[in-house]
Structure 1
Amino acid sequence: MPDLWLPGAERHPLGDTAPTDTRYAPRVIWHITWDKNATRAKPADLVPFDQLVRYFTGSGSSVAPHLLWDPFSGRTAQFYPADSRSKSVVDAPGGTRTNRTGRVCLQVETLFFPYCRVGGRTFATVRDTPAKGLDKILAWARSWGVPDDWPMGTPTWSADRDEHTWETRGGHYGHGQTPENQHTDPGPMPKWSGASPVPKPPPFPGRSAFGPGKSNASVLLLGQQLVRRGFGKHYRVGPSRDWGEADRLNTRDFQLAQHWSGSDADGYPGPQTWARLFG
């Protein structure tokens, strides 16, 4: 099992844990703390990291993330384990459980506001920062199956929300891309790459490749991709070439997450399941 706590992060467990909704693919939500309103003409000094730690462990615990990250020093503090929800986005009653969507729904508050001043230099966006420690956060997210992708595109200062994409695709999202929320952060983020690429799947092998008694590379590939997308909870050991009930149940969970029902969610992959799973 991947690490529940980011290796090297300062631990400040709040204890108020709650499970995520593992029907959905794993993800990361990125924020900025936006502690001050500065401008290019009037920059302001960055707020001290320890001040934000005191806030999230005190009066701000009701909106605490998983991680507080300082992109200038690389320092990180963690308040919730990876398998718990955190509380940094609006989660309206009766709607999408925005704080809980995914095998993990990791939330990162970046210590930053536009035109913050550090070491005498002014930074307009997170993309302009040294982004120290980002590689460790990304490696941790990948270990939980989060792909490097931005399913709604790389963040800008505008809000662009699509609930279907949110519910069906894992990856990285900005606060401004999260349903039920009105914020527009984090703004432009550093570019990254380097995750192990997902193997390009062969064409759909046909329905006859799956089911009781089947043993082949397509069954293994299906299981591996289900795990990558956050739909592997029924595996006790992991996917293999041999079709089993865990394969059917995990496939069914994925189909249900597409809002399919009846024969479209029977746990046996057809062309649409295959295309959506690898899409």
Structure 2
Amino acid sequence: MPDLWMPGATRLDVGDHAPTDGGPAKAIAHVTWDRNATAAKPVDLVPYTNLRSYFAGGGAGVAPHILWDPFEGHFTQFVPANSRSKSLVDAAGGTRTNRAGSVVLQIEALFFPYCRVGTQVYAKLTDTPCKGWDELQAWVHSWGVPNTWPMGKPVDFTSHRSESTWEKSAGWYGHSQVPENTHQDPGSWPSFVSAPAPSKPAYEPFPGASFFTAGRRSPIIAAMHKRLVAEGCGRYKSHANADVWGSGDERSYAAWQRKLGYTGSAADGTPGPTSWAKLHVPNV
């Protein structure tokens, strides 16, 4: 099961947990917009600790799941992932909002347009460093929220809402895209981060004992040949066709097994997973 509490986030559980309704998994992008500023009159960013105290105290009734500081990469979580939070307007008898999915993860980014940090002014959330976004995205995705925007990625402070899309489609939504709500945030949001390609192991994984049959040709066998010689276990009469498994490989590998302390049938020249791992054959 994914983590109910985001790893690395400060946990300030405000209680009042309640289940969601099930259905398409969603995440909602908000900005705190706790002050109004303009390009001509920027305003200093409100301290992260102020918002954290607000949501943990008097603002607990509208607390999101996650408060995110995109400038420093800090996170605070107020309710577990499997509970609804109350960051959305949810009119009685209307379309469900806060509960409308297997999860409905509410993310509040500490930001308002033309906030000032030091001497730098930030017009859009995407102008900030967006520190920690990769960790946040990964945690949200672990709860089944696809890296898609069913109604399009927010690019401005205008509303685009579709009740039918909301009810049927999993993914990320801006607050400006949620039915029954009138807010127009977040205005922008960072792009999804591609998962890094799996790194290639330094050493060749054990290919299985059945791989080592007479006449088998492979660069793995050539790499093994070099390692056996380097370990002083080469019992080859020739180094021609070093990539083809033969009797010289069997004799040499048996010498390697004996060097490791194997005896009898355990040193028969057929590679096994333990002796192979110790040989450190480079990945080819």
Tell me the TM-score normalised to structure 2 length. 0.67
Give the corresponding residue for 1:16.
16
Q: Kindly name which structure, 1 or 2, has the bigger radius of gyration based on alpha carbons.
A: 2
Q: Aligned letter for 2:16? A: D
Partner of 1:39: 38
Report the residue type matching 1:86 in the other structure: S
1:136 maps to which residue? Answer: 135
Would the alpha carbon gap of residues 148 and 195 (structure 1) be closer, same or farther in structure 2, given more than 3 Å must change?
Answer: farther
Kindly indicate whether the alpha-carbon contact (under 8 Å) linking 1:67 and 1:79 is maintained by their aligned counterparts in 2.
Answer: yes
Q: Which runs of 4+ in 1 moved over 3 A?
A: none
Distance 1:2 1:70 in 2: 23
Q: Partner amino acid for 1:109? A: E
The alignment-based identity, stated in percent, is 59
SS in 2 for 1:166: helix
Q: Find the residue that maps to 1:51 and give its secondary structure.
A: helix
Q: Which runs of 5+ in 1 are unaligned?
A: 197-279
Whole-Å separation in 1 of the counterparts to 2:53 and 2:172: 27
Q: Structure 1 residue 119: deviation in Å?
A: 2.5
1:88 paired residue number: 87
Deviation at 1:57, TM superposition (A): 1.1
Partner AA of 1:167 in structure 2: E
CA apart distance, 1:195: 5.3
What runs of 5+ residues in structure 2 fail to find an aligned partner? Answer: 197-284
Q: What is the letter of the counterpart of residue 32 of structure 1?
A: V
**Deviations 1:220-248, CA, capped at 9 Å, x for gaps:** xxxxxxxxxxxxxxxxxxxxxxxxxxxxx
Contact 1:5 1:78 in 2 (8 A): yes
Aligned to 1:73: 72
SS at match of 1:68: strand
- For the 8 Å contact 2:134–2:193, the answer to whether it is kept is no
1:43-86: per-residue Cα shift (whole Å, max 9, x none)?
A: 11100011111111111111110000000000000000000000
Looking at structure 1, the residues matched to 37 and 174 of structure 2 have their Cα atoms a distance apart, in angstroms, of: 21
**In angstroms, what is the RMSD of aligned CA positions?**
1.3
Letter of the structure 2 residue corresponding to residue 15 of structure 1 = G
Return the offset for 1:150. Answer: 0.4
How many Å separate the matches in 2 of 1:136 and 1:167? 27
Distance (whole Å) between structure 1 residues aligned to residue 118 and residue 133 of structure 2? 20
| Normalised TM-score (structure 1) | 0.69
Q: 1 or 2 for the larger relative contact order (CA 8 Å, sep ≥6)?
A: 1
